[in-house]
Amino acid sequence: MFVTVCQLIYLQGDTLCKECFFYAFEEEIHKTIIDAKLFKRGDRIAIGASGGKDSTVLAYTMKLLNERHDYGVELTLLSIDEGITGYRDDSLQTVKRNKDTYKLPLKILSYKELYGWTMDAIVQEIGQKNNCTFCGVFRRQALDRGAIMLHCNKVVTGHNADDIAETVIMNVLRGDIGRLRRCTAITTGTEGALPRCKPFKYTYEKEIVM
């Protein structure tokens, strides 16, 4: 009865104590996973680990829920080093701490290993213009390549409700109907070999920060 009342209070937006908020937050993620049928027993899942707050909370929550609810999935942290001087160093240290804290295996892959170029070297060649576009494409592909190297069959990312709302607005402003149709999906890439899932689709950034 305690859990039901806690979740009801949470959904109504009333105040919860810290412990009740954590539990309600975790169980909302569990409900999202179950309702969307994101995983099945035996799945090997790569957690996109940037070292930021979203991916750190995602790693913690995935580990906890896998044990609490016996999903029967295998979890691995996967981090991408773009090779941008001074940009990724601190966050990679956070990812390494997460590996030790959550007792999860970690694989760090660099653009240099995958493409033969660091992002710094790419910028030297093409200049500052459009380098974010290059990096975004390379990063998405790097996650897929890394997950395949780890023999994973799914990738999870920390994209939350705020991220998805921003993407919707951007696609509306650009008039990109194709992406507008896809960007709200909780799982993308289902037509390929490596689906990407967003367990935080209905989770607000403020909740993740808390």
Q: What residues are designated binding site?
A: 48-50, 54, 80, 158, 163
Tokens representing 156 are: 């999870």
Which residues sit in the known binding site for ATP?
A: 48-50, 54, 80, 158, 163
Structure tokens of 54? 């979203």
Q: Between 53-68 and 18-35, two packed helices, what is the crossing angle to 10 degrees?
A: 80
Q: What SS3 class is residue 80? A: strand
Asked whether the beta carbons of 122 and 137 are under 8 A apart, the reply is: no
Distances (CA, A) of 35 to 10, 42, 100, 173: 19, 18, 31, 31
Q: Which long-range contacts (CB under 8 A, 24 or more apart) does 119-127 make?
A: 119/82, 119/83, 119/84, 120/83, 120/84, 120/85, 121/83
